[in-house]
Structure 1
Amino acid sequence: MATFKATAETAAKNLESGRTLRELSDLFTPMAIRVAITLRIAQKIEAGRLTSDMLAADTNTDADILERVLRHLVTVGVLTQNESGQFRLTRIGEDMLVENGKAANPPWLDLETVAGRAELAFTRLLDVVRTGEVAYSAQYGTSFWDDLTRDPSSGTDFDVVMAGGMERRIREIAEAYNWGALESVIDVGGGNGTLLAGLLNAHPTLRGTVLDRHSEPALRTFKDAGLSERATALSGSFLEPLPSGAGGYILSRIQSDWNDADVRTILVHCRAAAGLDGKVIIIDEFASEEGVRCDSEDDLRMLVYYGGKERTLEQVSALAADAGLSVESLRTAADWTVMELVPTRH
C-alpha cells in the first residue's frame, strides 16, 4: 500500500529528473504512444516494416501524417530514425512488445478497446470535479458496463485483464480462508471464473457458481479445467436480487468500481441471499489508512470510468454496516485482504 513517504519520494524524483510542468501535463506524447500501440507499430517494425511508407501501407494510414507522429516518438526516445528514414525501437520502445506478439497492455492503451476508449474520458475530468458526473457516460452516452455488455469481445478483454491480476494471487487467497467449510459459494461478478476455478481446485469439496454479465466465459473456464460437475455460471446483475442458499457470496475487486449507493445495494443483495447463516466475503486491495490512496492513478480511473473510488477498510466496513453486515475476520492474501462479513446480530 502507498504511504505518504512513497508519494513524497515520487515527487522528489520528478524534481530531480528536471521534468517540467509542461512535460508532466502534455497530451501529445501519451496519445502518440497510444496510436502506435493501437496500430501495432512496434510489432511491424520488428517484422521489418521500417519506413513510414511501409508502415502506412500495413496500417491503412496516411504515410505523411503517420511519419509526423512517429517522428515525435523519436523526439521523446521511443523510436530512432536513420538517414534512410528507417525506424527502430529503442529500449523504451521495446516495452510496446510482448512475447505473444500483441501490444503491451492493449486493453488499456489500445484506443480501439473499451478500456482504451475509457482513458479518453479523462478529458472530462474538470466536469467530474465540478459536477460529480461519470465521465465515461458523459463522453459516450452509455456506461462502461453497458459497453461491455453490448460488445462481447470487449467484455472478454476486460475479464482477461481482471483475471491476470487474480491468477498471481489465487494460491494465497485459497489458503487464507477455509473455503471448503462454506460448502458452496457464488462468485458475484466473477468474470471468466478464474478465481472460482482456483478455489475449487484447492478445496475439492467446494461447489460454486459465477454470476456475471455473461455466463459463457466462466462456463468455458470450468469445462477446460474439468470442473463442470462442481461449477456453473449464471447471467445476471448484482444490482438485482441474487440467488439464495449458498454458504458464501464472494465480491472480488468489485467495491471500488461503484459509487457508495451502488455498493450498499450490492451488499444488501448479498446479505439477503446469504440469509442468517451465510457469509459475504470481500477480496480486494484497500486504500491505505494514512489518507493516501494505494494507487492514485487507479483511484482516478475508478472515478472517471465508473464513478467509483478506492476505499479504506473502514469505509467498506461502514458501507457493510449500512447493509446489515459486520466484519467477522480479516485475513491477508498476498497484497490483498480477505474480509469476512456476517449478518449483524441485534
Structure 2
Amino acid sequence: MGSDDANTILRMASLATPMALRVAVTLGLPDRLHDQDLTVDRLAGDLGVRPVPLGLLLAHLTTLGFFERTPTGYRTTEFGENLCGDSLTTVLLNLDTAGGRAELAFTELLHSVTTGQPGYDRRHGRDFWADLAAHPPLRESFDRQMAHRLRAGVPHLAAGFGWGRFATIVDLGGGPGTVLAGILAAHPATRGRLVDLDVTTAAATFAEHGLEDRAAVTAGSFFDPLPAGADAYLLVDILHDWDDEHAHLILARCVEAAAPDGRIVVVEPVGGRQAGTEMDLAMLVIFGGRERRVEEFEALAADHGLVLDSVTDAGGRSVLEFRIA
C-alpha cells in the first residue's frame, strides 16, 4: 500500500474533524462568530471553557474553512454558516440533542457487530427511547430532527401515493404530525388520528394547518392496543428502529386493530432502493435495527397474514402497502 493510500485511509478514519464539528455546534461557535469577530479569550470567558483548548479547536476548523482569522479574533466563513441556526445539520451535530447523542453510539460499533445489539444502551446506560423519556429536551430535539428530515419529502409523499382511497388513517409514532398533516392537507376527504407517547406537538401542528376538524390525537404506544377499524395504519420510519422481535409486535397490533379490508402502509428508506449503507450502521448501533429490503419486509409481514400489494417510491422513501390476506 502506497503512502497516499495510507494517508487517505487515516483521514477517512480520523475522529478529530467529526468531533470538532460536533463540539463547535454544541458550543454555538458558528452562531456566536457569525456577525462579529471575537478573540479566543472573550469566547472562552463567555462560554466558561478554557481558552487554550478552545484555540486549538478553532485553529483546526479554520484550516477546514469553517472559520477565518481576523485582526481581532475569529469569524464564521460563508461555508461555516452551514453550521448556524436551527437546521437538520445542526440538530444532528449538537451533542446535546437526540441526534448528536445518538451518533456517539458509533464508539460501540464493535459491540454491535459482535452481538447484534445496539451500542446506545452500552454508551448511555439506557436505550434510546428510555433516554428520550427521561430527558424531555432530548425528545423535543428528536421531534425537530424528524420534522426537518421529513419536511422536504412530505409534499411528494402526500401526492405520490393514493392516500385519498382511505377514509381514515391512523399514524403510529408520528411525532409532531408532519406527515399526517401533509397527507390530510392534500386529501380533503380523509380523516386521521395520530398515536404517540407525547401528542402535544402534533396537536399544535394540526391546529397550525387548520386540520383540527379532521385530525385527532391519542396518547399511546404502538405496542399497546390501537384505535380499531381504520382503513389504513401508517408506519413512517418506525420499523427500521426495531429488531425483528419488536417489529413483529408492532405489526401484530396493526393487524389486530385493522378492519378486515384494512391496509398496513410502511414508509421507510428501503434497503437496495433509497437507504444507504451508512444509515444501516446507524440503525444498528442506535437501535439494533436495520434498513430492511423489500423481501425482508415481505417475510416479516407474512407471519401476520399480510401480503405486499405495491411498492411506490415517493419523497425519498418507499411506500409499501400490505393487505390482510
TM-score (norm 2): 0.92
Q: 1:281 maps to which residue? A: 265
Q: How far 1:103 sits from its partner (Å)?
A: 6.9
Distance in 2 between residues matched to 1:191 and 1:206, nearest whole Å: 19
Distance in 1 between residues matched to 2:203 and 2:47, nearest whole Å: 36
Distance in 2 between residues matched to 1:94 and 1:240, nearest whole Å: 44
Tell whether the 8 Å contact from 1:37 to 1:103 is kept in structure 2 after alignment.
no
Q: 2:133 maps to which residue? A: 149
C-alpha spacing 1:225/1:47, structure 2 compared with 1 (3 Å): same
Distance in 2 between residues matched to 1:202 and 1:287, nearest whole Å: 28
Tell whether the 8 Å contact from 1:176 to 1:338 is kept in structure 2 after alignment.
no
SS at match of 2:301: helix
Candidates 108, 131, 145, aligned match of 1:161: 145
C-alpha spacing 1:335/1:69, structure 2 compared with 1 (3 Å): closer
Distance in 1 between residues matched to 2:227 and 2:86, nearest whole Å: 39
Distance in 2 between residues matched to 1:36 and 1:60, nearest whole Å: 14
C-alpha spacing 1:33/1:175, structure 2 compared with 1 (3 Å): closer
> Gapped runs of 5+ residues in structure 1?
1-14
Distance in 2 between residues matched to 1:45 and 1:167, nearest whole Å: 28
Candidates 58, 63, 82, aligned match of 1:95: 82
Q: Deviations over 1:1-20 (max 9, x none)?
A: xxxxxxxxxxxxxx999952
Distance in 2 between residues matched to 1:129 and 1:223, nearest whole Å: 44
Q: How far 1:310 sits from its partner (Å)?
A: 0.9
C-alpha spacing 1:61/1:104, structure 2 compared with 1 (3 Å): farther
Q: How far 1:251 sits from its partner (Å)?
A: 0.6
Tell whether the 8 Å contact from 1:268 to 1:324 is kept in structure 2 after alignment.
no
C-alpha spacing 1:70/1:216, structure 2 compared with 1 (3 Å): same
Q: How far 1:21 sits from its partner (Å)?
A: 1.7
Distance in 2 between residues matched to 1:305 and 1:282, nearest whole Å: 21
Q: Deviations over 1:183-231 (max 9, x none)?
A: 1110011111111111111111211111112111111111121111111
C-alpha spacing 1:279/1:113, structure 2 compared with 1 (3 Å): same
SS at match of 2:33: helix
Letter in structure 1 aligned against 2:117: E
SS at match of 1:46: coil
Distance in 2 between residues matched to 1:319 and 1:262, nearest whole Å: 11
Q: 1:3 maps to which residue? A: none
Candidates 217, 234, 237, aligned match of 2:221: 237
Distance in 1 between residues matched to 2:130 and 2:24, nearest whole Å: 28
Pairwise CA RMSD:
2.2
| Mapping for residues 1-346 of structure 1, pairs under 5 Å | 20-82=8-70, 84=71, 86-97=73-84, 101-102=85-86, 105-288=89-272, 294-344=275-325
Distance in 1 between residues matched to 2:152 and 2:5, nearest whole Å: 33
C-alpha spacing 1:220/1:334, structure 2 compared with 1 (3 Å): closer
Distance in 1 between residues matched to 2:148 and 2:62, nearest whole Å: 32
Distance in 2 between residues matched to 1:185 and 1:265, nearest whole Å: 20
Distance in 1 between residues matched to 2:195 and 2:280, nearest whole Å: 25
C-alpha spacing 1:134/1:232, structure 2 compared with 1 (3 Å): same
Tell whether the 8 Å contact from 2:196 to 2:218 is kept in structure 1 after alignment.
yes
TM-score (norm 1): 0.87
Tell whether the 8 Å contact from 2:37 to 2:72 is kept in structure 1 after alignment.
no
C-alpha spacing 1:181/1:236, structure 2 compared with 1 (3 Å): same
Letter in structure 2 aligned against 1:190: G
> Gapped runs of 5+ residues in structure 2?
none
Letter in structure 1 aligned against 2:83: M
